[in-house]
A and B are shown apart, each in its own frame.
Chain A
Amino acid sequence: MIDNNFDRRDFLKVLGWGGAAVALSGCGNTSVEDGKETVVSYVEAAEYVAPGISVYFNSTCAQCDAGCSISGRVREGRVLKLEGNPDSVINRGKMCGLGQAGVQHHYNPDRVREPLLRSGDRGEAITWDKAYALIAEKLNGVSGDQIDFLTGTVSGHTKALLGNYLESLGSKNHFVYEAVSPAVQRAANMKSYGMEMPRFNINKAKVVLSFGADFLGAWVSPVHFSQQYAEFRKGVDGQRGVLVQVESKMTLTGANADRWLVVRPGTEGILAMGVINALGVAGLSLSADVAAAVKPYDKERVSKDTGVSTESLVKLAALLKDRTPSLVLLGSAAEGYAHGSQNAAAINLLNQVLGNVGKTLEASAAVPFPQIAPTIGNTAALRMVNNRLADGQIKVLFTYGTNPVFTAPSEMKFKENLGKANFRVAFAHYLDETALQADLVLPLDSALEDWGTLVAEYQPEGVQISVQQPLMEKLHPETRGMGEILLSLVKQRQPESYKAFDDYYAYLRTAMLKNKSEFANSAMDDDVFWNGVLSAGIINVGGNLNKLSSKLSTNIQLPAPAEQDAKYPFTLIPSVTANLRDGRHANQPWLQESPDPLTTIVWDSWVEIHPKKAAELGIVEGDIIAIESKNGTINAQAYLFPGIHPDAVSIPLGRGHEAMGRYAKGYGVNPFQILDRVFDGETGELAMHETKVKLSKVGKRVIVVKDEGFAGGAQHGKKIAMTKSSDQVDLSEEV
């Protein structure tokens, strides 16, 4: 039982429901199970485990932050395969390749198995007791503002406990860093729509105009959007949705577009303004200030600046005008410039002008519990931590869910600055580049062994709290869940408040039961409720809708397209692929061997060059090319790729690890290293597409390892993959 003098509000805060925007039920129900339950191993066959029969348990995918609910196939106490949970509104039973590879994260042979303490260049295995004692010792006498946490996106009760721990340390320095994150867009959306991440109804749109948003590949919640996309293609009233993609390097979504418009890198905003202008010309009524703002963007100028033909521009405007509602999306290709915020503002303005706000772009629900609501990462956080490190302001640094040594541009000298902290603790699955720099590495449970809750940023319907439960016994006895570790750490500081919780499971269960009335009938038996939660794997909370506003901001300053740099003539586009993202899952062999959808290359990095440009430079496929920016050079094999602007080259992110494990180390190169240090003027985000490079042949040629054969993407007259024009089919008659 909890001590009576324990303040109720504090108690809620301890449990992660603090500051809840909802009314909680009466205070009568304060009894808490004292954690007597234990997790029963499926190996010690429980009565519901029959040898030879698979059982499915719902949990949550932790491969990215989209929060897909999964259904793990478990047999004889081993998890075999991850499938989608059909009841989840996010993924509705579907999965992406990255998510399915979660089992390979779990069974990965290169996982860290015990706490490691730096001893010279090596890690020495120590006990958890010693590790905790060490942390306590190192924190002793360090003031709160010298203790920093650098994490990836966090949500759920891990975040709540982390917040509580930080508070107990007197630190406010929780920096949330994601190397690839639509952070510029969030700021722009906040201005335009009053919320960072509204709901996008691709399935309700007749036309989707996407400025580099790879919603079928790696953007925000790809599994959810893929399903919307399928509906969109089937169409509303039999009218098939039309996808127009504007970008400088073709993404997976671009490859699925009806019209892929290649633009000069960085001119996405100009094109958006040009489309508004063309819409006005086509007869759409524009408000006076909008009309004034887009006046300079007549089609000739826009065509000249962007490289998109006037004909395409006019056709696009006509299509957008004719077929409503439409939806305009914006992705990393538009955001990644010094004027990224301006691009975003222009694109959002187009959405507003088209009247899509409130139709295909709707208000999302606010997570009613701020303590567990997701804190979304950005790159500005890295910059701040880096500056603090450089200035010697950080004595103790904790890293979790992020690998900044790998993802920080080398010019930031993050690795060097990291050395200035006295004590570095990495919570890690692998000995990745960042963990290698740490003084203490704490091994984490895999997502399939751990308890937890996860709240996704993008919520398609209400708010779904995804529950994570172990699908099997721990593979390695000396790993701990993040929640478990945080609970132990916070207990060091505030033993009184947390003494009721023997372990994180007890904490989580108590927390859930505490809010039972919010999720279910408060009269429901605790066990019934709890089992129901675990069985479903998700809890849906209505959540109040954010207030959708549509503020037309016409104060958009778009620079003229950059002149070509004589020394560094190419724009480097570091591309985000669906499987490898920022590289944290590079050690999962399925992902390495799954061909990149567009180039079909496996196990290696490549640099995409337009065939015309390659011919000019005398480059053929497989030539090793030195890609040199102001900040360094990397060598990658050339791949001639028609879906890229001739003035741009593209290298995928995620490969080029120097550590991490047998499937990641030594495969490919890491373009993060050579990024120029240019930031978005407004948000301070790293402008990922602003790096200028030059190419030179190294004089070596390799065979590009890819699935595509000698014929490339050609069919040589054989009717294999066939295409039909939309006016020749009647989709409404199809089954």
Chain B
Amino acid sequence: MSVSNLLENWAEFRHTHPVDDVPHDPYKWAMSIDLDACSGCNACSIACYAENNIPVVGKDKFEHGQVMHWMRIERYWPEDGREFPDQGATFLPMMCQQCEAAPCETVCPVGATNHTADGLNSQIYNRCVGSRYCSANCPFKVRYFNWYDYPTTENVWPAEMTQQLNPDITLRGKGVMEKCTFCVQRIRAGERAVKNEGRILRDGEVQTACQQVCPTGAITFGNLVDPESKVHQKWKAQQVELTADEQEKDKEEGGTDLRGYRILEELRPYPSVMYMERVRESAI
């Protein structure tokens, strides 16, 4: 590849910002998470460990903040200053938001993290040199770095446990960044499967591991540009626009009856995950 080619096609190499004139076609993977359904049980997080070969780092490394959970469940208390949290807690599953204008992508010196045509924020482990700039610039701090060589670390995957590893996923060695991929291996396998039939994936044919396992069905995943998909319908019903940086819900003073919002939207990363507010009964 010549430098001239690089310069000519620059815009295509780095199509990051969500623009309406370059629509996603045929896929734009997105999610919707209903906080009113989420019970905080952590099943999704463990499913993620199982699906994506995430190492268990152990107590010492967890203490040093070197845990690798791509999906973490955050627990928030009401901040009303009352003695007891008598409206319970709020649980929030947080993973890579697959931002359309991802702050992590522009800063990687080697281009190891990129936007794919179907709207995923990809991470190329082989290309990563471990500068960790992406994590530094991630507002959600959902990128996890391999501080150690976990595959060879004692008691991470002792002898028999290696047999459990998902062969569709690489094991990450020390020094590379990793994060939630929306289970890209499942998406790609699904795409390949339907390609033979000459069609595109239908809603529900690909599930992420977390979505599949969630006992309360709080996680919806699918193709945002497919009008038939549940995720499309949910985004539409909540009037959340992928390419907007302020949604209907926030435009009106005092809010509307909409529940959909995206986290840290004001920073304009254009996340692909819509959250739906938790609801608490007013009559009690």
- Footprint of B on A, CB under 8 Å? 52, 75-76, 78-84, 91, 93-97, 100-101, 103-104, 106-109, 216-217, 222-223, 226-227, 229-230, 233, 240, 242, 244-245, 250, 252-262, 312, 315-316, 319, 475, 578-579, 589-595, 597-598, 600, 602-604, 612, 642-643, 662-663, 667, 703, 705, 707-708, 712-715, 718-731, 733-735
**Do A729 and B279 touch across chains, with their CB atoms under 8 A apart?**
yes
**Do A597 and B42 touch across chains, with their CB atoms under 8 A apart?**
yes
**Do B213 and A95 touch across chains, with their CB atoms under 8 A apart?**
yes
Among all A-B residue pairs, the 9 with the closest Cβ atoms: A226-B215, A713-B77, A258-B281, A603-B59, A97-B46, A230-B216, A589-B56, A255-B89, A109-B158
**Do B87 and A100 touch across chains, with their CB atoms under 8 A apart?**
no
The answer for the CA separation of A140 and B35 in the assembled complex, in Å, is 62
B10 interface residue (CB < 8 Å to A): no
| Given A259-B281, A600-B75, A726-B280, 16 more pairs with CB closer than 8 A | A75-B167, A80-B167, A96-B215, A97-B47, A100-B213, A104-B164, A230-B215, A261-B86, A597-B91, A603-B62, A612-B83, A708-B74, A714-B76, A720-B264, A721-B91, A725-B282
B88 interface residue (CB < 8 Å to A): yes
The answer for the CA separation of A101 and B50 in the assembled complex, in Å, is 8
Please, could you name 8 A-B residue pairs with CB atoms under 8 Å apart, sorted by A? A97-B46, A222-B215, A230-B37, A250-B88, A256-B91, A258-B280, A260-B87, A723-B78
**Do A724 and B277 touch across chains, with their CB atoms under 8 A apart?**
yes
**Do A257 and B163 touch across chains, with their CB atoms under 8 A apart?**
no
Q: In the complex, what's the smallest C-beta–C-beta distance from A632 to chain B, in angstroms? A: 25
Of A52, A260, A602, which is within 8 A of B86 by CB? Answer: A260
Q: In the complex, what's the smallest C-beta–C-beta distance from B103 to chain A, in angstroms? A: 16
Q: Which residues of A contact B26 (CB under 8 A)?
A: none
**Do A667 and B59 touch across chains, with their CB atoms under 8 A apart?**
yes
Q: Which residues of B contact A733 (CB under 8 A)?
A: 237, 257
B270 interface residue (CB < 8 Å to A): no
Q: In the complex, what's the smallest C-beta–C-beta distance from B19 to chain A, in angstroms? A: 25
**Do A240 and B281 touch across chains, with their CB atoms under 8 A apart?**
yes
**Do B86 and A96 touch across chains, with their CB atoms under 8 A apart?**
no
Asked whether A83 and B46 contact (CB < 8 A) given A104-B161, A233-B37, A643-B85, the answer is no
Q: Which residues of B contact A233 (CB under 8 A)?
A: 36-37, 216, 279
Q: In the complex, what's the smallest C-beta–C-beta distance from A734 to chain B, in angstroms? A: 6
**Do A256 and B39 touch across chains, with their CB atoms under 8 A apart?**
yes
Closest to A97 in B: B46
B67 interface residue (CB < 8 Å to A): yes
Q: Which residues of A contact B76 (CB under 8 A)?
A: 713-715, 720-721
**Do A259 and B91 touch across chains, with their CB atoms under 8 A apart?**
no
Q: Which residues of B contact A226 (CB under 8 A)?
A: 39, 41, 215-216
B212 interface residue (CB < 8 Å to A): yes
The answer for the CA separation of A337 and B168 in the assembled complex, in Å, is 51
**Do B41 and A97 touch across chains, with their CB atoms under 8 A apart?**
yes
The answer for the CA separation of A729 and B282 in the assembled complex, in Å, is 11
B43 interface residue (CB < 8 Å to A): yes
Q: Which residues of A contact B42 (CB under 8 A)?
A: 97, 578-579, 594-595, 597
Asked whether A255 and B88 contact (CB < 8 A) given A226-B216, A734-B259, the answer is yes
Of B59, B236, B261, which is within 8 A of A722 by CB? Answer: B261
Q: Residues 198-225 of chain B: 1 if any A CB is under 8 Å from the residue's CB, otherwise 0?
A: 0000000000000011111110000000
**Do B83 and A590 touch across chains, with their CB atoms under 8 A apart?**
no
The answer for the CA separation of A717 and B257 in the assembled complex, in Å, is 21
**Do A84 and B213 touch across chains, with their CB atoms under 8 A apart?**
yes
Q: Which residues of A contact B255 (CB under 8 A)?
A: 724, 728
**Residue with the greatest number of chain A CB neighbours at <10 A, chosen from B78, B163, B280, B281:** B281
Q: Which residues of A contact B218 (CB under 8 A)?
A: 230
Q: Which residues of B contact A735 (CB under 8 A)?
A: 230, 233-234, 236-237
**Do A252 and B41 touch across chains, with their CB atoms under 8 A apart?**
yes
| Chain B, range 265-284, C-beta contacts under 8 Å to A | 275, 277-284
Q: Residues 64-82 of chain B: 1 if any A CB is under 8 Å from the residue's CB, otherwise 0?
A: 0001010011111111000
B119 interface residue (CB < 8 Å to A): no
B155 interface residue (CB < 8 Å to A): yes
B160 interface residue (CB < 8 Å to A): yes
**Do A262 and B39 touch across chains, with their CB atoms under 8 A apart?**
no
